[in-house]
Structure 1
Amino acid sequence: MTNKPNDNIPAFEVPAEVREIAERSVDQARKAMDGFVAAAGKAFDTLDGSASTAGASMKDMRAKSFSYAEKNLQAAFDHAQKLVRAKDPTEAMRLQSEFMQSQFEEMRKQMSEFGAAAQAGVTEAAKEATKAATPKK
């Protein structure tokens, strides 16, 4: 008989009271973060009131950054909620592994999108600079 990697992990049960406290804590933290994200979004909107072409590229990159941060925070809270509900260490390790894999893929996708937006901004800024430097006839 061969041992599986998780055979040596002792089984345990998290008391319902502890689980409820942890769930309430995650919910409270999520609500606090939602309030912070809403306030930060309003601040970004105020800053982005008017923008030139180059400023529009920066506005787009700021919006993407904010969106990515919000999405990643939401994923972290969702993960925390799942971990709180894990029935045993094996399930917690499986959830952690799945979360890490999904976050790695999400970060790869976000960096690719962000890189494309940055490249578009640089290209647009170069066009604007060339246009401004070209003598008018």
Structure 2
Amino acid sequence: MATDKTFEIPEQIRTFAEKSVEQAKKAVDDFIAATHEAVAKVESSSATVQNGALDLNKKVLSLAEQNLTSAFEHAQKLIHAKDPQELLALQSEFLKAQAASFGEQVRQIGDAAAKTVASITEKATKG
């Protein structure tokens, strides 16, 4: 006797998960907004040497924001997975995409850091 087993997430759990993801996303969005505001305040009172550090901070913040957005989009996809195979396929796809972007993000941070160090060194040798 063959049984047809299906993977099904109860609607209450799915609704709870969606609300939890939405609440977490709102909290992160609020944190990002507050961080942008703090960076803007520091930026308005910064000297030339600090500008490079601010640029580096902005780059890191931007990349973190991109990663968080990707993670929340992924969570939304996972919530709507129809079966374990789809869940695993989504997870595999997400991990591959994250691994691919990691190298580019490291390069961007390295470039921004090098620019910052060069700016500070230039300012120190002129001053």
Mapping 1:9-28, distance limit 5 Å:
11-28=6-23
- CA positional deviation for 1:100: 0.8
Unaligned residue ranges in structure 1 (runs of 5+): 1-9, 133-137
- Aligned-residue Cα RMSD (Å) equals 1.4
Task: Name the structure 2 match of 1:128.
Answer: 123
Unaligned residue ranges in structure 2 (runs of 5+): none
Q: TM-score, normalised by structure 1?
A: 0.82
Aligned pair count reads 123
2:85 maps to 1:90: yes
Q: Percent same amino acid among aligned pairs?
A: 42
Q: TM-score, normalised by structure 2?
A: 0.88
Mapping 1:63-74, distance limit 5 Å:
63-74=58-69
| Structure with the bigger percentage of helix | 2
Task: Name the structure 1 match of 2:74.
Answer: 79
Following the alignment from structure 2 to structure 1, what is the Cα–Cα distance between the partners of residues 86 and 70? 18
String of CA shifts for 1:41-93, please: whole Å, max 9, x gaps: 11121122222222110010011111111111111111111111111111111
Following the alignment from structure 1 to structure 2, what is the Cα–Cα distance between the partners of residues 83 and 28? 16
Given residue 31 of structure 2, which amino acid in structure 1 is its aligned partner? F
Preserved contact between residue 11 and residue 89 of structure 1 (Cα < 8 Å): no
SS at match of 1:125: helix
SS at match of 1:86: coil
Following the alignment from structure 1 to structure 2, what is the Cα–Cα distance between the partners of residues 39 and 29? 15
